[in-house]
Amino acid sequence: MKLRVALILTLLAISLSSSAQQGGAASESSSTIAPKYSNEFLAIGVGARALGMSNAQVAITNDVTSGYWNPTGLLDIKSDLQISAMHANYFANIAQYDFAAIGKCIDSLSAVGFSVIRFGVDNIPNTTELIDADGNINYERITSFSAADYAFIVSYARKLGVPGLRVGGNAKVIYRKVGDFASSWGFGLDASVAYETGKWRFAAMARDVTSTFNAWNFTLDETTRQTFLLTGNEIPENSLELTLPRLIIGGARSFQLSRKIGMLAALDLNITTDGRRNTVISSDPFSIDPAFGMEFDYDQTVFVRAGVGNAQYITEIAGDRVLTFQPNIGIGLRIKRIYIDYALTDIGDQSTALYSNIFSLKLNLFKQDQ
């Protein structure tokens, strides 16, 4: 029983220690570091259309989800107001991922949008007070807490004097919270550009272009501090977490296969600057992760999508190093002003086949599409 209790306490300590490492747990407070995968919940992607195409979206996004992918796409909203929402369960329903957005064109030259993202794990057992002062185990003392990440994104896009050229940007506020133990506020900026000529589209999205700072504040009571000490973990200190810039460049081309059947092909290159990652092109400080997606449509009413991405090298039991990739598929349906999209996407290692069913909804308000 004592061993079991120790393991539960260790799990909580590891959870907070992980946040401390991301937040720059160090011997001195107010330290600043730039860890890999900082604010990585913002790299998952939004919208079943995008997930079904392996997130190859930066050049083709054309709706309210553009506030996430590339703000210039907000200029393609044809209705007076457009809203979208998505919910997904990750890791066998342990984590919840939610997205909602609203966007509209201000006039013929500019558009705005607002997006909210939440990625969280709820109902985590807090066992720091499981054992009372006399050494007795009391399961009624177990409480629960949530560990959640939030992003609030304000987007703006504008057409320039050059035909087909657009620019856009995001201002985003990041809030991360681990129960009553730790919280973080951050702020960052994104910038984007897009150019369309004929059937070709090209775009670039610079995320965290000025770097994004998250200020972590840890409020651990004496019981929790003792838990960290007893389990051999460092007590986290207040610190700053730095998210380095990420550049996504993409190109796409549309094809008209017949009078009612069209096709769209898109390729994105996701370039990170936080050091060597397990990607197709891996170096320090730049790593490149490509993604390719295709979308077929029938009269802009029924859509079939597929994509490949997340290419990684893995070492098999025999010692051979092989390149793997993540396949995704999806479908979409337009019913007047309503768009319903579905994606079947592998969110984990291919060997475990952690496929998730993703649904998203989009609605045009007040004016029929043209």
The crossing angle, in degrees rounded to 10, of helices 2-22 and 222-230 is 100
CB-based contacts of 226, cutoff 8 Å, min separation 6: none
What string of pLDDT tens digits covers the 370 residues of the chain? Answer: 443 334 333 333 434 444 444 444 333 334 555 566 778 889 899 999 999 999 999 999 999 999 999 999 999 998 899 999 999 887 767 888 999 999 999 998 999 999 999 999 888 887 777 776 677 787 777 788 888 999 999 999 999 999 999 999 999 999 999 888 889 999 999 999 999 999 999 999 999 998 888 888 888 777 777 777 777 777 777 888 888 899 999 999 999 999 999 999 999 999 998 888 888 888 888 899 999 999 999 999 999 999 999 888 888 787 788 888 889 999 999 998 999 999 988 754 444 456 678 899 999 987 654 4
pLDDT, residue 27, reads 34
| CA distances to 61, 104, 129, 231, 349 from 94, in Å | 30, 34, 23, 25, 17
Tell me how far the alpha carbon of residue 107 is from its chain's centroid: 30
370 within domain boundaries: no
On the CB side of 319, CA atoms within 13 Å amount to: 0
Q: Residue 322 is part of which domain span? A: 2-365
Residue 209 gets the label, from left (phi > 0), alpha (psi -120 to 50) or beta, of alpha
- Tell me, what's the pLDDT at 23? 41
Q: What's the structural domain count of the chain?
A: 1
The pTM (predicted TM-score) of the whole model is 0.82
Could you read off the pLDDT of 123-133 as tens digits, one per residue? 888 777 777 66
Residues 6+ apart with CB under 8 A from 116: 98, 99, 100, 101, 150, 151, 152, 153
Is residue 211 included in any domain, yes or no?
yes
Of 318, 328, 324, nearest to 350 by C-alpha is 324
Q: What is the DSSP letter of 14?
A: H
Residue 331 lies in a domain: yes
Distance of alpha carbon 59 from alpha carbon 53, whole angstroms: 13
| Alpha-carbon distances of 145 from 50, 124, 237, 292, 330, rounded to whole Å | 32, 5, 21, 39, 35
Q: What is the pLDDT of residue 32?
A: 57
pLDDT of residue 103: 96
Rounded to a whole number of angstroms, the CA Rg of the chain reads 23
Looking at this protein, which amino acid is placed at residue 335? Answer: I
Q: What is the pLDDT of residue 354?
A: 62
Give domain status of residue 294, yes or no. yes
Q: Could you give the 3-state DSSP secondary structure of residue 21?
A: helix
Can you list the positions of beta strands (E) in the chain?
31-33, 81-90, 95-105, 110-126, 143-159, 165-178, 182-197, 200-207, 212-218, 239-243, 246-256, 261-272, 281-282, 287-298, 302-315, 321-335, 338-346, 355-365
Report the candidate in 82, 76, 43 with the shortest Cα–Cα distance to residue 60: 76
Provide the CATH number for the domain around residue 292: 2.40.160.40
Please give the pLDDT value at position 242. Answer: 85
Q: What is the DSSP letter of 51?
A: H
pLDDT at 234: 76
Vertex 347, ends 341 and 348: CA angle to 5°?
A: 165
For residue 344, the tally of other CB atoms under 10 A from its CB is 16
